[in-house]
Amino acid sequence: MSTNEKKLSLIAFSGDFDRLIAAFTLASGAAAVGWKVNMFFTFWGLNALKKSQGRVPLGKGLLDRVFNFLMGGLRNLPLSRLNFLGASPSLMTGLMKKRNVATLPELIQAARDLKVSFYACETAMVILGVEKKDLVDDVKDVLGVAKFLEYSQGGEVLFI
């Protein structure tokens, strides 16, 4: 790895549909122009990485199961504004397709194709009752602050 390699590390904290679009747009765009890109998913952002994209009661305890069912996965992400009881993300996806703008699943696939590294926050997973096996297979590692600092050192960091 060369010392002048450009690097972007994104912390995907939010599970909002629109914020995740911003995160994956930046990630795939930066990776396309040759930047090394890390995405650290924590708290609500983890919902985007769940294997099950719908509402599944993951976890061991009752609270975990209720929480995970209510949060859902990639298909249940709410819009941060004007969510209209969950109707807006699919309306917006329809508009994006019509206007030929990449949808969230397309941006995620682009990030994968361009070898963006996905990491999941260990503590948030414990809190939310989510295990590594519940997340998509290309999550490279489950880690904490120390590893995040090590991987992001010397590059740009964004919290979304």
Residues contributing to the site for other proteins (CB under 8 A)? 25-26, 28-29, 32-34, 99-102, 106-107, 110, 113-114
Nearer to other proteins, 25 or 52 (CB): 25
Nearer to other proteins, 115 or 132 (CB): 115
Q: In Å, how far are 4, 41, 43 from 56, measured between CA atoms? A: 44, 19, 17
Distance CA(108)–CA(125), nearest Å, equals 21
Rg for the chain, CA atoms, rounded: 16
Least Å from the CB of residue 37 to other proteins:
11
Nearer to other proteins, 35 or 44 (CB): 35
Q: Three-state DSSP class for 119?
A: strand
Q: Which residue, chain included where needed, has tokens 């629109």?
A: 18
